[in-house]
Structure 1
Amino acid sequence: MAQLNELELQNLRHMIGGHDTLANKLDSYAQSCTCPQLKQMLQNDAQDARNTKQQLMGFLS
């Protein structure tokens, strides 16, 4: 794999942090949600954000 330059590394870290924040917020929203369908959708979206975060972290190795 090619080496990342400083700007690419900073952008990657920013995207990873953003997906982590998004997953946490969606989990929080899902916990307070009373509609089962909306709760499931929020949980699915949180999991998607965690999966994307893991994929992005793969570029760091």
Structure 2
Amino acid sequence: MSQLNQIELQNLRHLIGAHETANQKLQAYAEQATDPELKQFFQDGAQAAMNTKQQLLGFLN
């Protein structure tokens, strides 16, 4: 794989940060949810955001 240029690296960092933020927010929403279906919805979203963040981090290796 070729090296990332500065713009690509900045964009990647931005995307990683955005997915981390989404994960944290969705986890917080899941903790506050009382409806089991809604709680599961937020937990699934948080996990998806974390999975995407991990995939994006893979581009830094």
Partner SS state of residue 4, structure 1: coil
Structure 1 residue runs of 4 or more that deviate by more than 2 Å after TM superposition: none
Where structure 1 has 5 or more consecutive residues not aligned to the other structure, the ranges are none
Q: RMSD in angstroms over aligned alpha carbons? A: 0.3
TM-score normalised per structure 2:
0.98
Q: Secondary structure at the match of 1:3?
A: coil
Report the counterpart of residue 18 of structure 1 in structure 2.
18
TM-score, normalization: structure 1?
Answer: 0.98
Indicate the percent of aligned positions where both proteins have the same amino acid.
61
Residue segments in structure 2 that go unaligned for 5+ positions in a row: none
| Matched residue SS, 2:3 | coil
